[in-house]
């Protein structure tokens, strides 16, 4: 890839901070947080302190270090310090409710050290006590400061860190990334789509434990010496708007669900978002209607794109001067895409098939998941599990997960397309569409969250069905509609349609 020429001996944990010290940014703010501002010079010393702590605890090269904490300077120091030491940091979602939810991560990673904070310490203490080989717990906020600790002489193709997949089905799988993967995303998406510079301030509502938030609020900004805004805890429309007005970010990253929630939040259109120059959406498909409403409300263009934990960040995206609302845009320079049918042959333009992507930020493997790795990593290509179609102009359109598509009377229906049309109706706040079995035949069912004050009766059901028939192929309308108060989602806002399918498949007497 042009613009990326790494030496064989390369440590990305050291590079992301030392490149800024060499550029004279030691006194520049790297992080804004509730606990105070942290400069690049201070963050470097914190990362060195984390590396020193791991040395004293006897952590060896390539041993895993779990990080279970909300976003903070200590989180960043632990992550970069672990790589500097030559260990492998493994961020995990701190929002899991039960202590037992963390048993799998401790067992799977064989971590000897877990970095926690005040919110996660009790959960992880109990999980650690249950482990066959209990790991040590250290607090992210109590990492010492060291002037300098030598970086481990890792290689550009060495294992650097793990990220766990979202776990929408089954137990989360560890995605293994190498030292060179981070720089690759920086010289592709960050430089050529975002155009990020040291003058930018980034704010991501997706946390650092997630691949999307990790790139938005750590690796991409540090590559160029930008400033980041870290917010500990869950995001709501109120906290997001308050943070934007206080911290004045220039680049705002969020998920479609939260963009929609902000638009529906009382008084949101009167808030000041004038500092933002780019908005970015990923983690799920952005409905064209939400894109249009956001543009109308704030005059801002959302750059929707698609990425994954396995590819580390966004590999297909709209551009500011090349936007097709509702689409995922076009391939990011440095990545190639292809769409194949079930027999592995290219599909005609306009037809849906399975999406494959090629680019050098791809995972090396799924940890201890040999069969899954063989099915997903096919030479230079990664099988995404997403179904897409590409139009005559080269824009890619998401058609749902391979296992989310609905076949009705021999024809494929996309739940994403139906959900987007439902969302255009003024009575609908959110929706999720799945295929259900009715007397042996597949039928389309929509679960709908109606807006406040709306009558959820048969009249609205008929109205929504006619609305879909007028916008879609007639076989694509929802045969069944159920009004609900909430939809099952992952912590990053993705709708878990499989849970709705499981619910429908459970006999009433069960």
Burial class, 409, CB count within 10 angstroms (exposed 0-12 / middle 13-18 / buried 19+): exposed
For residues 95 and 379, what is the distance between their CA atoms, to the nearest angstrom? 35
Query: What are the residue ranges in the chain where pLDDT is below 50?
Result: 2, 167-169, 508-510
Looking from the CA of 472 toward its CB, the CA atoms found within 13 Å total 23
Burial class, 7, CB count within 10 angstroms (exposed 0-12 / middle 13-18 / buried 19+): exposed
DSSP strand pairing (159-164 vs 136-139) = unpaired
Give the list of residues 6+ apart from residue 458 with CB closer than 8 angstroms, or none. none
**What SS3 state is found at 201?**
strand
Domains in the chain, ordered, with CATH? 1-178 (3.40.50.980), 180-403 (3.40.50.12780), 406-505 (3.30.300.30)
Assigned token pair, 141: 């906020």
CA-derived radius of gyration, the chain: 23
pLDDT (tens digit, 9 = 90+) per residue, 378-391? 999 999 999 999 99
Please give the model's pTM, rounded to 2 decimal places. Answer: 0.86
Helix (H) or strand (E) holding 173: none
**pLDDT value at residue 452:** 92
What is the residue whose two structure tokens read 């975002």?
Answer: 194
Closest CA to 282 of 409, 166, 426: 166
**pLDDT value at residue 69:** 97
* Full DSSP string of 249-293: -SEEEE-HHHHHHHHTSTTGGGS--TT-SEEEE-SS---HHHHHH
Residue 415: φ, ψ to 5°: -60, -35
Assigned token pair, 370: 């040999």
What is the residue whose two structure tokens read 């009558």?
Answer: 455
User: C-alpha 489: how far from its chain's center?
Assistant: 13
**pLDDT value at residue 168:** 42
For residues 461 and 471, what is the distance between their CA atoms, to the nearest angstrom? 16
Residues 10 and 179 sit within 8 Å (Cβ to Cβ): yes
**pLDDT value at residue 484:** 96
Q: Taken in order 206, 215, 161, 26, is the CA torsion positive or negative?
A: negative
DSSP state of 358: E
**pLDDT value at residue 408:** 84
Closest CA to 402 of 343, 354, 461, 464: 354
Assigned token pair, 339: 């769409």
* CB neighbour burial string for 164-195, b if at least 16 within 10 angstroms, e if fewer: bbbbbeeebbbbbbbbbbbbbbbbbbbbebbe
**pLDDT value at residue 509:** 42
């Amino acid at each position: 890839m042009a613009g990326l020429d790494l030496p064989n001996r390369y440590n990305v944990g050291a590079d992301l901070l030392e490149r800024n010290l060499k550029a004279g940014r030691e006194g520049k703010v790297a992080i804004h947080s509730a606990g105070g501002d942290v400069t690049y010079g201070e963050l470097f010393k914190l990362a060195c302190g984390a590396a020193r702590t791991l040395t004293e605890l006897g952590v060896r090269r390539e041993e895993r270090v779990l990080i279970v904490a909300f976003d903070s300077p200590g989180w960043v120091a632990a992550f970069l310090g672990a790589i500097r030491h030559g260990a492998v940091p493994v961020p995990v979602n701190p929002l899991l409710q039960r202590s037992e939810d963390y048993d799998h991560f401790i067992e799977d990673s064989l971590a000897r050290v877990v970095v926690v904070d005040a919110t996660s310490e009790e959960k992880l203490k109990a999980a650690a006590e249950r482990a066959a080989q209990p790991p040590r717990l250290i607090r992210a906020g109590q990492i010492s400061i060291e002037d300098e600790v030598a970086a481990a002489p890792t290689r550009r193709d060495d294992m650097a860190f793990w990220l766990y997949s979202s776990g929408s089905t089954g137990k989360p799988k560890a995605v293994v990334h190498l030292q060179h993967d981070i720089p690759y995303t920086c010289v592709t998406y960050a430089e050529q789509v975002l155009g990020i510079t040291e003058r930018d301030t980034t704010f991501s509502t997706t946390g650092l434990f997630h691949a999307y938030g990790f790139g938005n609020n750590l690796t991409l900004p540090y590559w160029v010496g930008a400033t980041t805004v870290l917010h500990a805890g869950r995001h709501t429309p109120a906290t997001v708007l308050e943070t934007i007005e206080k911290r004045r970010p220039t680049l705002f990253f969020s998920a479609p669900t939260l963009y929609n929630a902000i638009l529906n939040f009382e008084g949101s259109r009167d808030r000041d978002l004038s500092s933002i120059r780019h908005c970015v959406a990923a983690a799920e498909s952005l409905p064209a209607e939400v894109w249009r409403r956001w543009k109308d409300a704030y005059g801002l263009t959302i750059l929707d794109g698609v990425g994954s934990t396995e590819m580390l960040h966004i590999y297909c995206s709209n551009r500011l001067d090349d936007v097709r609302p509702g689409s995922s845009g076009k391939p990011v320079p440095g990545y190639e895409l292809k769409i194949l049918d079930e027999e592995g042959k290219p599909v005609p333009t306009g037809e849906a098939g399975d999406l494959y992507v090629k680019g050098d930020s791809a995972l090396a493997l799924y940890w201890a998941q040999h069969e899954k790795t063989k099915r997903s990593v096919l030479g230079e290509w990664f099988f995404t599990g997403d179904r897409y179609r590409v139009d005559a102009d080269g824009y890619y359109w998401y058609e749902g997960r391979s296992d989310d598509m609905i076949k009705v009377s021999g024809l494929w229906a996309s739940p994403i397309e139906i959900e987007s049309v439902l969302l255009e109706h003024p009575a609908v706040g959110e929706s999720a569409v799945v295929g259900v079995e009715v007397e042996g035949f597949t039928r389309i069912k929509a679960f709908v969250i109606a807006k406040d004050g709306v009558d959820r009766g048969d009249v609205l059901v008929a109205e929504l069905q006619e609305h879909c028939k007028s916008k879609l192929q007639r076989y694509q309308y929802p045969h069944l509609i159920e009004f609900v108060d909430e939809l099952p989602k992952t912590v990053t806002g993705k709708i878990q349609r499989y849970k709705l399918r499981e619910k429908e498949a459970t006999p009433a007497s069960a």
